[in-house]
Amino acid sequence: MRNSLFIIIILLAASCKKDNYAAPGTSFKGRITYQGEAVNVSHGEVFFELWESGWGKRTPINVAVAQDGSFSSLLFDGTYQLVLPKGQGPYLTLPDAASHTDTTLLQLKGDRNMDIEVLPYYMIRNAKVSANGRQVAVTCKLEKIITDARAKNVERIMLYVNRTQFVDGINNIATQSMNGGDIQDPGNIALQVNVPAVNPVQASVFVRVGVKIEGVEDMIFSPVIEQKL
């Protein structure tokens, strides 16, 4: 009995010592951008990696990108390798100016705010929303950014409506789509959808447009727009 009690005391002491390590407190935040403009994505679907050496087995820290293109993470001061994995996001990565690779050396010594520039396949421009009763309509322009051999076609364009500010292919109460081959004028795209009644009743909904690109998993979106009904 005495030996068992002694072992328990040791384990508790070790646990308390482990819990007393300082939590990460350095703020690293910013946006995924194209020419200084945030690249909007789907909520919780896009991330990038931070690799830190010197801790034995190396595993990445995945930093999630919010739907408005912003990110935020609490880290320890130190040196990290920032990597945008291939296939993540509706864009191509740009070579780092210092390393000339897809890896950026990130040195943290205190809080840091930094935008990460990328090259999207498309950008959605001038999205405007209107409502007639419970029918929501949107117009926008689609700008093709990558036009060389790396260019890709539009698979479909989607209109999403939701009760909350989180709006995408999973979070929605109404959708309407147009196949990429049916887009006659990328400078004048129009979609509309009937919004079902919701309970409890609310005076407005949240709307945005998403574009699915052929061969690219993640969609690019317009900013979220709140529309009164």
Segments making up each domain of the chain, as ranges:
23-120, 122-228
Query: By the 8 A CB rule, do 177 and 157 touch?
Result: yes
Tell me the H-state helices in the chain. Answer: 2-19
Please state the φ and ψ torsions of residue 42, each to the nearest 5 degrees: -85, 145
Closest listed residue to residue 75, CA positions, set 128, 29, 135, 138: 29
The set of residues, in sequence order, having a beta carbon less than 8 Å from that of 58 and lying 6+ positions away, is 51, 52
The set of residues, in sequence order, having a beta carbon less than 8 Å from that of 148 and lying 6+ positions away, is none
Burial status of residue 181 (CB atoms within 10 A of its CB: 0-12, 13-18, 19 or more): exposed
- Provide the percentage of residues in the chain whose pLDDT is more than 70: 89
- 95-139 confidence digits (pLDDT tens): 888 888 888 999 999 999 999 999 999 999 999 999 999 999 999
The topology under which CATH files domain 23-120 is Immunoglobulin-like (2.60.40)
Secondary structure letter of residue 40 according to DSSP? B
Please state the φ and ψ torsions of residue 7, each to the nearest 5 degrees: -65, -40
The set of residues, in sequence order, having a beta carbon less than 8 Å from that of 104 and lying 6+ positions away, is 81, 82, 83, 96, 98, 116
> Looking at domain 122-228, which CATH architecture does it have?
Sandwich (2.60)
Q: Output the pLDDT for position 10.
A: 44
Q: What is the CA radius of gyration of the chain?
A: 23
**Whole-angstrom distance, CA of residue 66 vs CA of residue 35:** 18
Domains 23-120 and 122-228 share a fold: yes
How much is the pTM? 0.86
- 18-58 confidence digits (pLDDT tens): 556 678 889 999 999 999 999 999 988 999 999 987 655 57
Mean pLDDT of the chain: 90
